[in-house]
Structure formats: structure tokens, C-alpha cells
Chain A
């Protein structure tokens, strides 16, 4: 069965600190996708990144970076120099081409 675990329920950081959100997944499939979504207080789900299971390259996009390690089934998300606008709930998700399973989410508060 597929499962996504985000062990951190809530994180608070002071503005400009770096923060890493953890994601651990379980799947029997050899081919799958991993995602990160952001849900700000307004409620809409914003797609951040997709990673194919065959592509273990880490990715950086501005202040965001993602570390995919298949050996540990982890897909962690780091925000560098956090800003107040980063305050949101972040969901890690797993897809096997059929449906997407979401983790429980991590609520990030960035304090000015």
C-alpha cells in the first residue's frame, strides 16, 4: 500500500532562517511520481515540484530546493532564507499514475 509520512506537524521559524520539511514515502511500485504542494491560508493548492522516480537529481528553484533519496524513500524540501509569505501548509504527495496520495501536511509559520 502507498503511504506518505510527514513527521513534522508544525514548524515555526524566524524570518531568514532555513527550514527543511521532511517527507518519507512507501510504495511497491518502481515507477512513481513525487510532488510537493503549498496551501497558503487562502486555501488554494499550489503545485511546487514533480519528481519522477527515475530521476534522483536534486533540484533548486530560487530559495527552494528538493533532496530526493530513493535509498531512504525520502523527498525533503528546504526553504532557504525563509520569508513570511512562505507561511503555509506544505503537502508531500505520491502518485503511481492512478491516483495521488497526500501526506498529512506540515504547517510552516515564518515569524517576522
Chain B
């Protein structure tokens, strides 16, 4: 199974600033994803990070607010721009690992963000 790490694990930020979250996978993967999990809620997909092309954003999420980079098959970053308290969430990176039986989506440990 793919092992995914994220940095930072948590941060407290001031309103109006930006934070870049890094995601590293221990193997090459085609598809990486960024999710947001607001307190007490389920996971909401922000975007699919495509290697070599722009990320594909879900409804309600825009590139100006959540720019994503995917420079290679093992790494991606998500930036939360011009933060407000409403952005306080856990941000999770995930990747799809394929084996003979099919595919499974594994998750990083998450980045807990608190915006003051």
C-alpha cells in the first residue's frame, strides 16, 4: 500500500495569510487528490492533482483560493490562500494505489489548520 506523508501536520495561521501543504507519496502514482474535512464533517474533495497538467477542481473550489502543484508522480502541494477562519479544517492528501485486485485510495495523516 502507498505510504503518504504530509507537512506540516498542523498550523495556526493569521487571517489573510497563505499556507502551503506538502504531500509526499512513497511510490509513483498517477492520481493524487486533496480533500477538506471540516470539524465534525465528512471529507469533501477539493481537486484532483494531475501530473503535467492543471488540477481539476470540484464545484465550490477555485484555483485562486486553492492553487495546486504536481511537479512529479510522487509529490503535490496545496496552498490555502488568503485564509479566513472558515478555512479552519483538516486538509488531507490521498493517492490511488492500484494492484491486481483493483484500486484503493490511501490517505495522508492530514494537516490540521486553524485560522485566527
Contacts and interface: CB of A to CB of B under 8 A. Distances in A.
Interface string B99-110: 001111111011
A60 B33 CA distance: 30
A103 B101 contact: no
Interface stretch (A22-30, A61-69, A70-78, A93-101): A93-101
Measured as residues with beta carbon below 8 angstroms from the partner, the interface class of chain B is 20 to 34
A46 B29 CA distance: 19
Contacts of A44: 107, 109-110
B42 A102 contact: yes
Main SS at interface, chain A: strand
Given A45-B92, A91-B43, A104-B42, A35 B105 contact: yes
B45 A50 contact: no
Given A99-B33, A99-B45, A105-B42, A45 B103 contact: no
Interface of A: 33, 35, 37, 43-45, 47, 50, 52, 91, 93, 95, 97-105
